[in-house]
């Protein structure tokens, strides 16, 4: 009996979420394969891996050493050679066909990526090279938000964490969810194209502050919401953690779809592989998300069978449509 009711609720949420997607978007679904890694399936083969490249301003250095990462997400990024400089690096990349860059890096103890001193170069990258510039900024203050606006960046990304315990125990940051909200407010004040990320299961595989993070984000004008999944990385304290259950993830996809019906929602590249990935990718399509990065084999066919029209892009899903 109880099982029957639960599956009815699940089906109802799925149907309502997909109907919401159809009501607010055309039938295109976006598949992304940015040049962060080589990507090839039967359905989607990367053609221009140099098109969109990630740069780490700090190399693999990061003051926070979060429990789920230990700066491992910086490893596939191009480490900035301080002697060469950001503008020269971007010029070199542009000469090789790069059209967009993600400027990211490790964090300072205050949770901010050290962007301030690179603002003049970022401005020149925009003006002289015409590259698309996305920035992963971490928490920001007023001056950085203004500086990024003046530099002309195309979009800003930041992880939004809704639980103080997770901010302290996972990110080792002496901040509160309010500080993340203040960052969203500052970015909105300067008219940025905001692309917040929520990491599902960040609290050691458990859901803790994701709904608070979603509510926070829904209070601001964001252009793309990116959902990623806690991925137990080898060599981190979370390597043995169970990722969150697919049912919980699917339910959150549905909640996000209904809470932000007009906002493009993407499933980002960070998520566990294997059967978990295939099930999560299917759920992303079933619950009306607008796109996913590095889709599991068979997802293009699955989307077509749902009446959706696949569109392929070789930049970050945070870039949106
Ligand atoms: S701040 Fe970012 S790069 Fe540094 S450890 Fe945390 S998630 Fe990794």
CA of 145 to the centre of ligand 1 (A): 20
66 C-beta neighbours (distance < 10 Å), count? 23
Quick one: which of 9, 11, 26, 107 has its CA closest to 290?
26
pLDDT of residue 6: 72
Give how many domains the chain has, as a whole number: 1
Residue to mutate, 60, 66, 140, ligand 1, most ligand atoms under 8 Å from C-beta: 66
Q: Is residue 255 part of a domain?
A: yes
Cα separation, 105 vs 88, in Å, equals: 18
Q: Tokens 């999944």 correspond to what residue?
A: 229
Ligand 1 neighbours by CB, cut-off 6 Å: 62, 64-66, 69-71, 73-74, 106-107
Residue nearest to atom 1 of ligand 1 (CA): 107
Residue nearest to atom 2 of ligand 1 (CA): 106
pLDDT in tens, 293-313: 999 999 999 999 999 999 999
pLDDT band, residue 7 (cuts 50/70/90): confident
250 is in which domain, residue-wise? Answer: 14-319
Q: Is residue 2 part of a domain?
A: no
Cα separation, 243 vs 14, in Å, equals: 22
Q: Is residue 1 part of a domain?
A: no
pLDDT of residue 36: 86
pLDDT in tens, 237-286: 999 999 999 999 999 999 999 999 999 999 999 999 999 999 999 999 99
Cα separation, 236 vs 116, in Å, equals: 29
pLDDT of residue 321: 79
Q: Is residue 178 part of a domain?
A: yes
CA of 66 to the centre of ligand 1 (A): 6
Q: Is residue 9 part of a domain?
A: no
Confirm if 220 and 316 have CB atoms less than 8 A apart. no
pLDDT of residue 3: 67
CA of 70 to the centre of ligand 1 (A): 6
Phi, psi of 132 (to 5 degrees): -80, 130
Cα separation, 201 vs 215, in Å, equals: 17
pLDDT of residue 169: 98
Q: Is residue 60 part of a domain?
A: yes
Cα separation, 138 vs 104, in Å, equals: 9
The structure tokens listed for 170 are 């996972």
pLDDT of residue 285: 98
Residue to mutate, 71, 135, 159, ligand 1, most ligand atoms under 8 Å from C-beta: 71
Q: Is residue 4 part of a domain?
A: no
pLDDT in tens, 191-218: 999 999 999 999 999 999 999 999 999 9
3-state secondary structure of 156: strand
Average pLDDT value over all residues in the chain:
96
Asked if pLDDT for residue 23 goes beyond 90, the answer is: yes
Q: What is the CATH number of the domain that holds 34?
A: 3.20.20.70
Asked if pLDDT for residue 40 goes beyond 70, the answer is: yes
Q: What is the mean pLDDT of residues 48-68?
A: 96
Residue 42 burial (C-beta neighbours within 10 Å; 0-12, 13-18, 19+): exposed
């Amino acid at each position: 009996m109880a099982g029957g009711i639960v599956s009815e609720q699940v089906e109802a949420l799925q149907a309502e979420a997909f109907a919401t997607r159809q009501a607010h978007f055309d039938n295109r679904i976006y598949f992304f394969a940015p040049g962060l890694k080589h990507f090839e399936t039967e359905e989607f083969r990367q053609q221009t891996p140099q098109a969109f490249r990630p740069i780490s301003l700090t190399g693999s250095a990061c003051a926070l050493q979060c429990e789920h990462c230990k700066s491992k997400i910086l490893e596939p990024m191009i480490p900035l050679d301080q002697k060469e400089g950001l503008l020269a690096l971007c010029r070199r990349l542009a000469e090789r066909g790069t059209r967009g860059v993600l400027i990211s890096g490790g964090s300072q103890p205050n949770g901010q990526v050290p962007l301030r001193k690179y603002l003049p170069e970022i401005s020149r990258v925009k003006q002289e090279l015409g590259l698309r510039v996305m920035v992963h900024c971490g928490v920001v203050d007023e001056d950085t938000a203004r500086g990024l606006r003046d530099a002309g960046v195309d979009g800003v990304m930041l992880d939004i964490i809704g639980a103080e315990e997770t901010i302290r125990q996972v990110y080792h940051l002496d901040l509160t969810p309010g500080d993340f909200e203040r960052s969203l407010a500052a970015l909105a004040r300067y008219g940025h194209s905001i692309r917040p990320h929520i990491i599902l299961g960040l609290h050691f595989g458990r859901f803790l502050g994701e709904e608070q993070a979603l509510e926070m984000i829904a209070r601001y004008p964001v252009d793309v919401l990116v959902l990623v999944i806690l991925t137990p990385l080898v060599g981190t304290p979370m390597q043995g953690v169970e990722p969150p259950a697919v049912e919980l993830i699917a339910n959150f996809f549905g909640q996000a779809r209904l809470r932000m019906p007009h906002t493009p929602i993407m499933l980002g590249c960070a998520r566990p592989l294997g059967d978990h990935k295939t099930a999560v990718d299917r759920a992303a399509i079933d619950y009306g998300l607008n796109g996913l990065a590095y889709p599991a084999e068979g997802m293009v066919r699955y989307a077509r069978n749902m009446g959706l029209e696949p569109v392929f892009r070789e930049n970050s899903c945070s870039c949106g449509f």
